[in-house]
Amino acid sequence: MRYVPLVAVLVLGAALRLFLLSTDAPPLFADEFEQYVSVQHIVTHGVDIDGTLKPFLYSPLMRQPPIYGLTAYASTRVLGNTPLGWRFPAAAFGIIAIALLYLVVFELTRRRPVALLAALLFAIAPIEVHFSRVGWEPASVLPVLLGALWLLLRALREERPDVPFPRLAVAAVLVGLCPYTYGASWFYSLILVTSLFALNPWVFRSAANRRKLLAAAAIALAIAAPGMLVEFTDPHTVGRSMRISTFAGGVNGTSIGIFFNHYFSHFGWQYLAGTGAGGAEYMGGYSALYWWYPPLIIIGALYAHRCVRSRALHVWLWIWLLAYPLGAALTNDGQTTHAARTIAGSPILCIFAGIGAYALVSIGSGITSQFWRRCYGLGLAAVLLAFTAGSVWSFSRWYFDVYPIASAQAWESGARQAFAAVRAHEQGYDRVCLSGFNPLHVDTLQRYFLAGTPLTVIENTDDPACRRARTLVLSTRFWFPLGLTPLETIRGADGKHFATLLARNVVQGG
């Protein structure tokens, strides 16, 4: 019976992550299935689409860490090449992360109610739900990072001065895998792991422990090294990292101002409880958390020293909190807040919120009257239940009804139907020319949707071949040259024009 509440939290979290996951709303996005294209090419040709085989997967923007792509591709072999097949691992990772957060908080506090409250708040947090429903790299971050932190916290229990090596070794494997989840994860794991050991110097006193730690560090480095080599030496990846670095132009008044603006915006009401992150693909338009989380976070931050089992771990939580916005503060590509780049830091908000909720519960123990103590407890439980139910209902109505339409253009809603129209007409034509598509997405789109087509695919309508007869033109523009016959107009989920399929049956000018 002790774990029934946790099971209930996991069921709630699973329901939010799996509900309607098989629908194409929002539609699979180029940033999602570009990894499918890459893995599929490796499976069928032995090399990535750029002709190489590296620890990271190729994408038009930069090389991407492979864990999500590999697990999701395996999922499509079982569930089919569908939205459910590709996104199911994200939901599974999200559910695992809820359980691991519970275990991490229990290790920090040794109080099950605190761990349960933190897990509940994490399970229903809008931004955590969103990243557990989208099939891209950030979805794989938290199971790996939280799993490593839980094992290290177990290994570093102060009542066990002889550190158990099996836990250290498994934790080292997970730390080594962090660079293969998402770009900023290695940075967060470095901060959190090194600070955890720095705050527990007792572990270094034993020669046996030092040998174990050295072996664990070697395991982590051996696993992480190939990925980090790509991260820091691959021109395609390094070039992207340098372009978006906040300090790419040097350390000056402007770059420092950008850094602090991005940093503190992640603690702001607008992001946490207002309209959320910029960019519709990051759930812009809805808050990252619920409006009642920030007060709990503040209470939890003030109360944590009474709840966390050691001063060192209390300081460690604050290091986690201070590090949380760094992934976005150190980058600048047009977005002040960036939910994906801070996902490794985001659990700390729910941890402090859980501690804050527990602090409110603990107030009841100071009420001398049993009657009023019981009334306080029942009232607080009723308020928490009402806030949870009301917020989850409100978010679900927005996320499943409003968001797919409001974000249709950002998710390129209509792409699947547009390329399906090309496939429906391909037998009567020799080539298809693509016009007006995002240049970073067009290659992925045609590789995914037009795989195996007999048509020659041309991504540039200025190509002279596009003026020949027996040519299809798929254009996202509202205008098109004379001599083309419209075959079909495709609209997105919002009803707005996405693309027009046209045909050229005579040579231009003929």
**76 and 36 Cβ atoms separated by less than 8 Å:** yes
**Pairing relationship of beta strands 485-491 and 471-475 according to DSSP bridges:** unpaired
Neighbours of 14 (CB within 10 A): 17
Helix (H) or strand (E) holding 433: strand 431-435
Q: Specify which of 129-133, 163-167, 372-376, 464-468 reaches the highest per-range mean pLDDT.
A: 129-133
pLDDT for the residue numbered 510: 45
pLDDT for the residue 284: 87
Helices (H), 199-234: 207-233
**Tens digit of pLDDT for each residue in 249-263?**
899 999 999 999 999
Average pLDDT over residues 458-466: 88
CA separation for the pair 444, 3 (Å, rounded): 45
Q: What's the mean pLDDT when you consider all of the chain? A: 93
Over residues 470-478, the mean pLDDT reads 92
Tokens of 447: 């590789």
Interatomic CA distance for residues 492 and 472, integer angstroms: 20
pLDDT confidence of residue 158: 66
Element (H, E) at 133: none
The distance from CA 12 to its chain's CA centroid, rounded to whole angstroms, is 20
Rounded distance between C-alpha atoms, residue 465 and residue 483, angstroms: 14
Verdict on whether the full-model pTM lies above 0.75: yes
Q: Which H or E run contains 171?
A: helix 165-177
The owner of tokens 């919120």 is: 353
As a whole number, mean pLDDT of residues 114-132 equals 97
- Non-local CB neighbours of 349 within 8 Å, separated by 6+ positions: 125, 272, 289, 293, 297, 321, 324
- What's the DSSP call for residue 49? T
Rg over CA atoms, the chain: 25
Task: Name the least confident of 155-159, 341-345, 358-362, 487-491.
Answer: 155-159
**pLDDT at residue 354 above 50?**
yes
Averaged over 460-473, what is the pLDDT? 89
Q: Could you tell me the two tokens for 28?
A: 């699979």
Looking at the predicted structure, is the pLDDT value of residue 366 above 90? no
List the single range of 89-98, 115-124, 318-327, 335-344 with lowest mean pLDDT. Answer: 335-344
| pLDDT tier at 159, thresholds 50, 70, 90 | low
Do the strands 471-475 and 431-435 form a parallel or antiparallel pair, or are they unpaired?
A: parallel
Lowest mean pLDDT among 123-127, 319-323, 363-367, 399-403: 363-367
Structure tokens belonging to residue 93: 């990772």
- d(Cα 489, Cα 487) in Å, to the nearest integer? 7
